[in-house]
Structure 1
Amino acid sequence: MKEVIYSEKAPKPIGPYSQAVKVGDTLYISGQIPIDPKTNEIVGKNIEEQTTRVLENIKSVLEKSGYTLNDVVMTFVFLKDMKDFSKFNDIYSKYFTEKPPARVTVEVSRLPRDALIEIALIAQKT
């Protein structure tokens, strides 16, 4: 059974998609960019600030679904500039401190609203 998840503490979708979809014990979270859910505006001028906002948005969707960062098994990271990889990694590692998930990180030419980063993920209850 497919359950659509929506958290008021995360940005509203800016297109025809759900913040997250739960199927069985697996949660799929759509790509999150650094939008402040209160203002619906991009926040942060640098990769550190934007990464923090994205991960806080993700935490909100996880919590609404009854999951935590410890349940994340795979992340998909899209960076506007791979030169930001080290700075991104510094912030990311503060959120995934033990048994970090598998990850894909790629550089892309452009992201929605000219964000510097977007992260999607899969979480699994075990």
Structure 2
Amino acid sequence: MARQVIIPKNSPPPLGPYSPATRAGDTIYVGGVLPTDAEGKLVGDGDVAAQTRHELELIKSVLEAADASLDDVVFNQVLLRDMSDYAAMNAVYRTYFPKDPPARFCIRADLVRPEFLVEIIATAHVSRQG
């Protein structure tokens, strides 16, 4: 099966050897999205809600670059630096998935930089027309 690397315009630079997303068949795997802008600068310093919003907007742009949308997301993985941020993250998250949200797990984890409060990984499924 052929795979396609997806790099949307103005995508933040990866912090390691990975692509923002990869499509394999009808499945789109969005790599760990971090709260950085197109220049790699932190967004939402100390604010998990702002970081969550920024990351979900990045996921949205990655999916749009693959002719998909947030409605196609079937599974999310959420990593929080501190579980005390769970309610604030969820308040933003539910605005992006207000009806029939995808399956998800959320765990506490040490993230790649201490200023990162949340990281989100998404998997989307898009049926091909034809």
Give the TM-score category using the shorter length.
over 0.9
Name 1:2's counterpart in structure 2. 3
Deviation at 1:14, TM superposition (A): 1.5
1:65 aligns with 2:69: no
Name 1:106's counterpart in structure 2. 107
Name 2:97's counterpart in structure 1. 96
More strand by share: 1
C-alpha contact (below 8 Å) 1:9/1:60 kept by paired residues: no
1:36 aligns with 2:43: no
More helix by share: 1
Unaligned residue ranges in structure 2 (runs of 5+):
none
Q: Over the residues paired in the alignment, what is the CA RMSD in angstroms?
A: 1.0
Unaligned residue ranges in structure 1 (runs of 5+):
none
| Alpha-carbon distance in 2 for matches of 1:28, 1:71 | 11
Deviation digits for residues 27-70 of structure 1 (CA, Å, limit 9, x no counterpart): 00000011012x31111121111111111111110110111000
Which residue identity lines up with residue 43 of structure 1 in the other structure? V
Name 2:75's counterpart in structure 1. 74
| Alpha-carbon distance in 1 for matches of 2:6, 2:108 | 28
Which structure 1 residue ranges, 4+ long, deviate > 3 Å from structure 2? none
What TM-score, normalized by structure 2, do the two folds share?
A: 0.91
| Alpha-carbon distance in 1 for matches of 2:89, 2:10 | 23
Q: Number of paired residues?
A: 124
What TM-score, normalized by structure 1, do the two folds share?
A: 0.94
